[in-house]
Structures are given as C-alpha cells and as structure tokens.
C-alpha cells in the first residue's frame, strides 16, 4: 500500500508544541514506514515519549491526557487486530513493539520486564534457608523497645528468605538491620561471598561509613566483626558497565552468594534487569529502600512495583510458625498471607524523626497526602526547625539564603577531609533545573553571594561539584559529588584538584582538567540529592504549580534534612504537589502476582 511522504503529519504539530521530542517523532515515522501502518507508528511515537517520562509502557487504560484522546483511541482499535512482524504479542515476543494485554511496550522494555519478573518470582518461590540460632538472634537484638521488634523481625526474615525486601523511611534502622542480617548469615555460613551495592557513589560512601561505624559494636560469640564487609560498590562499577562488555552477565555470572542493594528506589528497570542477569540463580538478594521516595530517573519504578498492594504485616502460616519457634514476636495486626508476602518487611519507627519532631510530622503528612499549606503552617508554628517563605512575585524574598551561606562555603575548612565532610552540612534543593527556582539560577546566585563575602574575588577553591556524566575509567559516575581543592606543588605552584570521597571511604583526587562533565553543586535537583543527607535543607519550589512537583519529590526533599528545613514555595505549588502522585505505567506488579 502506498503511503504519504510524511505518514504522520500530526507528529510535527506535537513536536512543535513540545508534547513529544524529535526522537519520538522520528521513531514513529520509522515504524509507520517500515510496517506500513500509520496507527502503529503513531503509538510507537507515544510509547517512545512515555519511556522518556519514566514509564515502562503505554497503558490503554491510562492514555496521556495532553495528547488527543480520539486519535490515540482510534489507533489502539486499529492496532489490536493488526498482524505485523513489527508488533509482537504477549510474553516471549521479540519485535520492535510488543502488545501484552492492554499495554504496548518497546520490545527491549517488555523483555526486561519479563526477565525481572521471572528472576524475582523464582526467588520468591525458592525454599527457606536454614534458620539462624535463637541465641544469636537474642545476642544481636537484646531487649525490646520502639523499633527493635521491627528490626528483629526484618533481620530474621532476611536471614530466612533467598529474596527479601526491607522498606522504611530515613532513621528507621535499615542499616542497623542489614548489619545484623549479615551477621546472622555469616554465623551460619562463614565463607559466604557478599557484595554490598548502591545506585550512586554518594549512597555507597554513606553506607560504607555507617557500616564501619557500627560494625565493631557487634558482640556475638563465634562472630568476627571484621568478617562483615564494609566496602560498598556502585551497581555500575560492580557490573563493569560503561567499559565495553560488562564484567558480569548471564554468560559470566558474578561469584557471589548474597547481594545487598541499598536505596533500591533509585534503580530503574533496565539496571535491575542487568543486575539480576549477572547473579547466579542460587545467589540471595536483599533490597533496602523507601518506596515513598522519588522513583528512578530512567524508566521503571521497581521498588514501588514490588510493594504495590502488598501488606507488610501479612505472612504465610508456615512463616508465622517459624518465627514463633525462633522466639520472634509477630507485629500487632499480623494477617495470614501467601509465600510471596513473606519477603516484605516494613520498618515504621523512625529514630531520626520521632512523632514529636516537626520534620517527621511534616514528612508523614506529605506521605499520606494530608499536608496542605495550611497544615504545613500549623506544623511550622509549633516546630522551629521548619521555616516557611513565599515568593515575592517572581523574585526571591529577602533573607532567603540567610544562615546557609557559611554552611555552603567549603573555603572555611582548613583541610580537604573537613571540606568533604562539610558537604553534608547544608544544600539548596530544587524541583527544576532552569528558571528562577532552578538549579542553574540558584547555583549562580549562591556563587555570587560567596564571592561577595570574599571581597568580590571568585575562586575555584572550595567549589562543590557534581559529576553529570559517567566516567568508569576514572571511577566517577553521574551524581557523584566532590569539591575542588587547591594545593601547592613541590615547586610552590598552586593547582586545583577535584576530590571525592569514594565508595571505599577513601579520598580520591584527580587534576581538574581530567574531571568529566560537571556543574557547581551549591544547589541540586531533588533527584540528584537522593542517597544523601544534610544537616539543613533549603527547598526551593517554583512560584506556580509545575508537573515535576509531586508528593514523592516533596517527601524526598524533606527527608534529606537531618535537623532543619526551610521551604520557599508558592502555596498553590505546594498544594498541587502534595495532591500529584507519581504513577508510572508498568506491568511488573501484575506479573509478580500472576498465578
């Protein structure tokens, strides 16, 4: 059948309107011309666009509201009965596009979702491991109290199950718990090969620091605390991604018995697929994370999909009996569940944000969707660690940066180690990259304020930097944060190096000229702040509602603060954000629960 020169002229209109990217339009036309079906090309462009927005697929029951509904619905009707080698159907299909029920996928995303679901289901259905000894459990969890019972339950579940998922917000004791999981597993199997992973260098360094600080406190007969690993790698470094052929994959699985992955909410579907493909079928997997945080930057929301609809208080009758036999109290309200329910445990008591702390109250209200601006004002009135500011039109209000200049100035530090520690004192967090409330503008504003403080003299020394492009050969990855630091050479020449705290807890420096693509980091997007914590956070939101301001973004930003938070926002922006939830189209939950 002959086709027009441009089979889909409407794509050009959508591109000009900013509703799809040029790449999406190009892909749609490519599929339309190759398949001979304009309807399939139209949906291909939309699937491509949805992937760039974080969705794994296009769901016919949740079509994008900003694209013409009648056109998309007509295209769906045409494609449902289409017979084309360009369109596969159901699990096992391999073609540029795959229609699976009411969901349309890019072929590679469909294959990745099926593989991840299969790998996780096999682990969910695997038999329990030999139980830990009751005396070891008592030694690792002496006494009772707020949070202890939950940590004990989570540790024993993770010691029993080949696959387990421990969820919880900041300060709920996930690191404390995983340390004891490792102790229980090593007491049972001393030669266990364990790898600890995190999505970013920042998250890896923080977990390394926490494990080293707590490891020596373990006192259990028969356990050498030094046997517990404390070196955390990034997932990319572990797999050897970005160096040509990966170090580990299905044909060359990693020599590992147990993998622990922290900050799992940041892991996208393709990365989880590559990780699972690289693990032997016998390897255990323990995921840690907070499903209420922002999902990954790339497509998918694996952690959220895993907990969707699950009841963390439900356990199979067999698991309940095993826990009672080990002397582990069941939580109040325990329900009867399936074997798949045994893998999930939620830690709910926060030691950092107890119920009487303002940040904890505010984060809980945001998480539940009840934190209107009026409610925020009421909480702030009772808790001085929360400050509220509003925009003056499009202008930053006077004093918006007061109290943050000194914590953001690394030049006040006398040596490099203290400068790197100083990075954790304060940070400006933004929802956007550009505009008056964006990272680009505020980085410049802060840099100018610091230069004025120094008499108007700009200086690279002490500038915090954020790596924005992976550089595996240098051991640096997108999201790694460090500081530019001047030093004198043996000849008395002053040179600036870029210095980072590595996942191994050691300081690594390189000449500034070798630093990969980067930007100043006085201000970060909330996405880039994941895996980090700061004593004080200044959250800057736009003055008018924006689709990127969501409940998950607000919750993530608030929980980066250890001690205090200042919020600069338009009340309408805040209210719209609390009511806007991130919902990514995916079939992973359905596949995991399929019988």
HEC string for 100-165: ECCEEEEHHHHHHHHHHHHHHHHHHHCCCCCCCCHHHHHHHCCCCCCCHHHHHHHHHHHHHCCEEE
Model pLDDT for residues 256-275, shown as the tens digit of each residue: 999 999 999 989 999 999 99
Distance between first and last Cα of the chain = 43
Model pLDDT for residues 63-99, shown as the tens digit of each residue: 888 888 888 899 999 999 899 999 998 887 789 999 9
Long-range contacts of 13-17 (CB under 8 A, 24+ apart): 14/45, 14/67
pLDDT at 1 over 50: no
- What is the percent of the chain with per-residue pLDDT over 70, rounded to a whole number? 97
For range 136-157, the mean pLDDT: 85
pLDDT at 121: 92
- What's the token pair of residue 398? 């006077």
User: What is the rounded distance in angstroms from the CA atom of residue 566 to the CA atom of residue 561?
Assistant: 10
User: What is the rounded distance in angstroms from the CA atom of residue 293 to the CA atom of residue 184?
Assistant: 29
pLDDT at 143: 75
User: What is the rounded distance in angstroms from the CA atom of residue 546 to the CA atom of residue 541?
Assistant: 9
pLDDT at 5: 61
pLDDT at 55 over 60: yes
pLDDT at 336: 85
Length, in residues, of the chain: 595
Long-range contacts of 356-359 (CB under 8 A, 24+ apart): 357/383, 357/385, 358/382, 358/383, 358/384, 358/385, 358/386, 359/383, 359/385, 359/386, 359/558, 359/559, 359/561, 359/564, 359/565
pLDDT at 3: 46
CB 86 within 8 A of CB 40: yes
Q: Kindly list the structural domains of the chain, giving each domain's residue range(s) and its CATH number in brackets, ordered by start.
A: 9-105 (1.10.10.1020), 132-351 (3.40.50.300), 358-459+518-579 (3.40.50.300)
pLDDT at 359 over 70: yes
pTM of the shown model: 0.87
pLDDT at 60 over 70: yes
In 398-553, the DSSP E strands lie at 426-430, 464-467, 481-488, 494-501, 507-511, 518-520, 523-525, 534-540
- The CA angle 344-142-206, to the nearest 5 degrees, is 60
Model pLDDT for residues 304-335, shown as the tens digit of each residue: 999 888 888 889 999 999 999 998 888 888 88
Write down the mean pLDDT value for the chain.
88
pLDDT at 483 over 70: yes
CB 519 within 8 A of CB 528: no
CB 82 within 8 A of CB 39: yes
For range 348-363, the mean pLDDT: 83
For range 430-447, the mean pLDDT: 92
pLDDT at 472: 76
pLDDT at 256: 94
């Amino acid at each position: 059948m002959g086709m027009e020169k441009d089979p889909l002229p409407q794509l050009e209109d959508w591109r000009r309107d900013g509703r799809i990217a040029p790449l999406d339009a190009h892909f749609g036309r490519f599929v339309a011309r190759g398949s001979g079906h304009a309807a399939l090309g139209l949906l291909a462009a939309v699937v491509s666009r949805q992937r760039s927005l974080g969705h794994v697929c296009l769901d016919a029951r949740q079509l994008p509201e900003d694209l013409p509904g009648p056109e998309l619905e007509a295209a769906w009707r045409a494609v449902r009965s289409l017979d084309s080698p360009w369109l596969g159907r159901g699990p096992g299909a391999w073609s540029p596009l795959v229609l699976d029920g009411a969901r349309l996928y890019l072929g590679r995303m469909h294959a990745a979702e099926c593989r991840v679901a299969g790998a996780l289901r096999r682990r969910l259905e695997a038999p329990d491991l030999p139980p830990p000894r009751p005396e070891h459990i008592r030694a690792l969890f002496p006494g009772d109290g707020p949070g202890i019972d939950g940590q004990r339950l989570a540790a024993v579940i993770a010691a029993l199950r080949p696959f387990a998922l421990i969820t919880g917000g900041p300060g709920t004791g996930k690191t404390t718990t995983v340390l004891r999981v490792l102790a229980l597993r090593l007491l049972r199997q001393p030669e266990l090969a364990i790898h600890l992973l995190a999505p970013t260098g920042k998250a890896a360094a923080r977990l390394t620091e926490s494990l080293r600080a707590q490891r020596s406190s373990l006192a259990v007969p028969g356990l050498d605390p030094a046997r517990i690993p404390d070196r955390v790698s990034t997932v990319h470094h572990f797999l050897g991604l970005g160096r040509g052929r990966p170090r580990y994959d299905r044909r060359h699985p990693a020599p590992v018995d147990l993998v622990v992955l922290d900050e799992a909410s940041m892991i996208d579907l393709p990365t989880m697929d590559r990780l699972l493909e690289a693990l032997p079928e016998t390897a255990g997997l323990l995921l840690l994370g907070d499903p209420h945080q922002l999902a990954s930057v790339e497509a998918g929301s694996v952690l959220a999909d895993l907990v969707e609809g699950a009841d963390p208080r439900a356990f199979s009758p067999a698991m309940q009996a095993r826990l009672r036999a080990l002397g582990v109290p069941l939580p109040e309200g325990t329900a009867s569940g399936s074997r798949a329910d045994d893998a999930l445990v939620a830690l709910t008591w926060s030691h950092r944000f107890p119920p009487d702390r303002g940040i904890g109250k505010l984060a809980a209200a945001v998480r539940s969707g009840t934190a209107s601006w009026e409610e925020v004002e009421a909480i702030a009135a009772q808790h001085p660690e929360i400050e509220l500011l509003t925009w003056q039109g499009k202008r930053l209000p006077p004093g918006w940066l007061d109290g943050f200049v000194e914590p953001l100035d690394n030049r006040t530090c006398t040596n490099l180690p203290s400068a790197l520690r100083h990075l954790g004192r304060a940070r400006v967090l933004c929802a956007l990259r550009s505009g008056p409330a964006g990272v680009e503008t505020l980085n410049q504003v802060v840099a100018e304020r610091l230069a004025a403080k120094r008499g108007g003299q700009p200086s690279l020394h002490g500038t915090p930097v954020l790596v924005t492009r992976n550089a595996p050969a240098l051991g640096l990855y997108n999201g790694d944060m460090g500081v530019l630091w001047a030093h004198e050479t043996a000849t008395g020449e002053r040179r600036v190096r870029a210095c980072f705290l590595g996942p191994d807890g050691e300081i690594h420096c390189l000449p500034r000229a070798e630093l990969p693509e980067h930007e100043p980091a006085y201000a970060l997007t909330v996405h880039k702040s994941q895996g980090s914590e700061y004593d004080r956070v200044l959250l800057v939101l736009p003055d008018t509602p924006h689709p990127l301001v969501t409940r998950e973004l607000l919750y993530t930003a608030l929980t980066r603060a250890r001690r205090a938070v200042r919020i600069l926002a338009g009340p309408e922006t805040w209210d719209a954000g609390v009511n806007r939830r991130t919902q990514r189209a995916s079939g992973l939950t359905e596949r995991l629960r399929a019988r």
